[in-house]
Amino acid sequence: MTTYTGNPSFGIAELSDWGARGGLLLEAARYDIDALNVFPVPDGDTGTNLLLTWQAATDALVEVGGGPGVGLTTALAALARGALLGARGNSGVIVAQLLRGISESIDSQVTDGRLTSGDTDWGAAIAAALARAADLGYAGVARPVEGTILTVAAVAAQAAQGQARSGVVAVVSAAAEAAADALSHTTEQLPVLAEAGVVDAGGQGLVLLLEALRGVFDPNAPTPQQVLESFSLGRAVPPVAGQLPHALHAVQHNGVGHAAPGDGAFEVMYLLEADDQGATDLRSRLDTMGESVVVVGGGGLWNVHVHTDDAGPAVEAGVGAGRVFRIRITPLDGSASHGAEPPSETGMAQLARRVVVAVASGPALAALFESGGARVVPGGAGRRPTPGAIVDAAMGAAEVLVLPNDDDHQAVADAAAAELRDRGTQVAVLPTHAEVQGLAAVAVHAAYRPFTDDVVAMSAAAAATRFGGLARAEREAMTSAGICHPGDLLGLVEGDIVVLGSDPAAVSCAVADRMLSAGGELVTLVCGDDPFPGRPVADAVRRHLHRHRLDVEVVVYDGGQSHYPLLIGVE
């Protein structure tokens, strides 16, 4: 990373450097920031959310690149939009709003990479940008609370403005130092922080980002190592599996470690396409439904966040304001039931008596299914499992859900189900025609629900997932896309060949575009290893979608499957 002396300017190189430095600091401090997280709820994920938000922002920056025609304002807009689309949690949404403020302010002061004031020093411009960021941060929150990331942002901006005419180095240094000082006082401003003996988690994340900005310009700035050593909880150490971070232990011991009635049992987040008035009205309406209401964005696109006891009306309110998509509902007690009641004693017994058996064609895919609680039977192209293998995997269960994950496995799954029924087992073979459908089904599986309800929910998730992929032709044949020859690449959608070509990335991008033409919010890419590695292809598809479909979330998994270098799912 480069540091600058003399009279530094602010351009794409400096912006990229800030992104890289900020990412490294957030990644290193992630677990300790999680441990600080006691406000607005002690869910221990602020560090993770800030890191994911920042990664989404810098990924978007990488996508626009630094080629001809790409200036600082374009790059900053991409950074802010990436954060808005990928924001996680309360603090992540606020950071996205702060980046929007910086972007808007710089855009108003810069033309063709030059300051419109004619000033050669960027100090005043950056100070004004930090002030705009703080103002927008407060504006996006329905009920701003002092002693949080908002306070840290405001104090940093005020200090930066005090040095506005002293140069860039003075501005960014003043902002970072004032932010750290403001952070130390957050414990005095919020009783919940004082009770736990910690500073505000979101504010700590912002301090690291401002230290990263300082490191870009100030040759005498603390090194990343020194920044982390001065971090309030010391060097970042991942919490021991199964144990709460130490700050959360203190809070839970004092009786405030869970969301109280009315404080919001669920975190609801979604993206919203609406005009400014619609977003303003929604912010007011959500304020009557829950806590921690944040609605940020602009230009017709908004990120919405609220903690509420009733998730449904919070989503419906968004639907009344505009188009809602990419909905996330997370129970604030840490469970992943997405609105389902926690299991009763009877429901807990169900966990031991119901199993999901999934056929998987690769080791990494098998691990994905197992992480969702499924028992795995090896299968795939040219490796059809036997009914006995499925029966063996289901041994000891009173209820069994079978995911064949390939039309070629359907008869085998049906035969296994018949044998299990003869033994008195309740069985359902779900309509999963591809492994991406199976993954969608496993994601909503809840063993403590009634059997029929679980079947319906998992089948609906599978049916809502369109599937496609990339394969190589083994022989000459007539297809709906034309005549293919041995070695040609085949683009598949729902089992039909829709694209022929020789470039795996081009064929896969065409398949993804075709699948998304019918709509979709989430694209899942599963990389295989045979007949060639699918990871470079998946990365090309991800970049393509980030450029052309910013409304779509993309996740990439290593599957290790044979025959299909890439599997594509669209939900």
- State the pLDDT at residue 430: 94
The helix/strand/coil state of 470 is strand
CA atoms of 162 and 34, how far apart (whole Å): 33
- State the pLDDT at residue 113: 67
Is the domain of 117 the same as that of 51? yes
Q: What is the CATH number of the domain that holds 311?
A: 3.30.70.120
CA atoms of 491 and 505, how far apart (whole Å): 10
In a domain, 338, yes or no: no
CA atoms of 102 and 125, how far apart (whole Å): 10
Strand partners, 291: 307
Strand partners, 496: 493
CA atoms of 294 and 137, how far apart (whole Å): 9
- State the pLDDT at residue 256: 28
- Indicate the range of 42-51, 332-341, 354-363 predicted with least confidence: 332-341
In a domain, 555, yes or no: yes
In a domain, 87, yes or no: yes
- CA neighbor of 449 nearest in space, from 479, 478, 428, 467: 428
Is the domain of 130 the same as that of 17? yes
Q: What average pLDDT does the segment 514-539 reach? A: 88
Question: 425 versus 2: which is more confidently predicted?
Answer: 425
Q: What average pLDDT does the segment 521-543 reach? A: 88
Place of tokens 């929604």: 282
Name the percent of the chain lying above pLDDT 90: 36
Contact 103, 80 (CB under 8 A): yes
Domain boundary among 463, 488, 508: 463
Question: 139 versus 252: which is more confidently predicted?
Answer: 139
In a domain, 2, yes or no: no
- State the pLDDT at residue 531: 80
Is the domain of 189 the same as that of 237? yes
Q: Is the pLDDT of residue 237 over 80?
A: no
CA atoms of 251 and 239, how far apart (whole Å): 16
CA atoms of 259 and 265, how far apart (whole Å): 6
Q: Which two tokens stand for residue 376?
A: 């795995």
Is the domain of 128 the same as that of 249? yes
Question: 513 versus 118: which is more confidently predicted?
Answer: 513
- pLDDT tens by residue, 550-568: 778 888 888 888 888 999 9
Q: Which two tokens stand for residue 130?
A: 């930090």
Domain boundary among 203, 219, 253: 253
Strands 553-558 and 522-527 turn out to be: parallel
Through-space distance between the first and last CA atoms of the chain, rounded to whole angstroms: 39
Q: Which two tokens stand for residue 353?
A: 């008596």
Q: Which two tokens stand for residue 152?
A: 């840290």
Is the domain of 481 the same as that of 558? yes
Q: How confident is the model at residue 235 (pLDDT cuts 50, 70, 90)?
A: very low
Domain boundary among 253, 275, 305: 253
CA atoms of 309 and 6, how far apart (whole Å): 55
Strands 466-472 and 489-493 turn out to be: antiparallel
Is the domain of 380 the same as that of 423? yes
Contact 482, 492 (CB under 8 A): no
Q: What average pLDDT does the segment 81-97 reach? A: 90
- State the pLDDT at residue 530: 77
* pTM: predicted TM-score of the whole model, two decimal places: 0.59
CA atoms of 559 and 499, how far apart (whole Å): 23
- Indicate the range of 128-132, 345-349, 534-538 predicted with least confidence: 345-349
- State the pLDDT at residue 260: 37
Is the domain of 309 the same as that of 430? no
- State the pLDDT at residue 264: 60
Q: What is the CATH number of the domain that holds 472?
A: 3.30.1180.10
Q: Is the pLDDT of residue 67 over 90?
A: no
Is the domain of 395 the same as that of 276? no
CA atoms of 441 and 253, how far apart (whole Å): 37
In a domain, 5, yes or no: no
- State the pLDDT at residue 344: 43
CA atoms of 75 and 81, how far apart (whole Å): 10
Q: How confident is the model at residue 197 (pLDDT cuts 50, 70, 90)?
A: confident
- CA neighbor of 204 nearest in space, from 25, 16, 14: 25
Is the domain of 276 the same as that of 232? no
- State the pLDDT at residue 488: 92
State the number of CA atoms in the 13 A half-sphere of 55 facing the CB: 12
Amino acid, res. 225: Q
Q: How confident is the model at residue 105 (pLDDT cuts 50, 70, 90)?
A: very high
- CA neighbor of 126 nearest in space, from 153, 112, 150, 105: 105
CA atoms of 143 and 148, how far apart (whole Å): 12
Amino acid, res. 19: G
- Indicate the range of 282-296, 342-356, 481-495, 511-525 predicted with least confidence: 342-356
Q: Which two tokens stand for residue 411?
A: 């008869």
Mean pLDDT score across all residues of the chain? 82
Q: Which two tokens stand for residue 22?
A: 């900020």
In a domain, 7, yes or no: no
- CA neighbor of 244 nearest in space, from 170, 169, 163, 334: 334
Question: 6 versus 117: which is more confidently predicted?
Answer: 117
- State the pLDDT at residue 250: 30
Scanning 110-148, the segments in alpha helix (DSSP H) are 123-140
Query: In the chain, what's the furthest Cα-to-Cα distance?
Result: 84
- State the pLDDT at residue 247: 31
Q: Which two tokens stand for residue 131?
A: 């002030």
**Which range marks the domain in which residue 317 is found?**
266-331
Is the domain of 539 the same as that of 481? yes
Structural domain count, the chain: 4
Q: Is the pLDDT of residue 134 over 90?
A: yes
Q: Which two tokens stand for residue 155?
A: 């104090």
In a domain, 140, yes or no: yes
- State the pLDDT at residue 259: 35
Is the domain of 249 the same as that of 270? no
- State the pLDDT at residue 343: 40
- CA neighbor of 436 nearest in space, from 535, 524, 356: 524
Q: What is the CATH number of the domain that holds 439?
A: 3.40.50.510
In a domain, 340, yes or no: no
Is the domain of 162 the same as that of 292? no
Q: How confident is the model at residue 242 (pLDDT cuts 50, 70, 90)?
A: very low
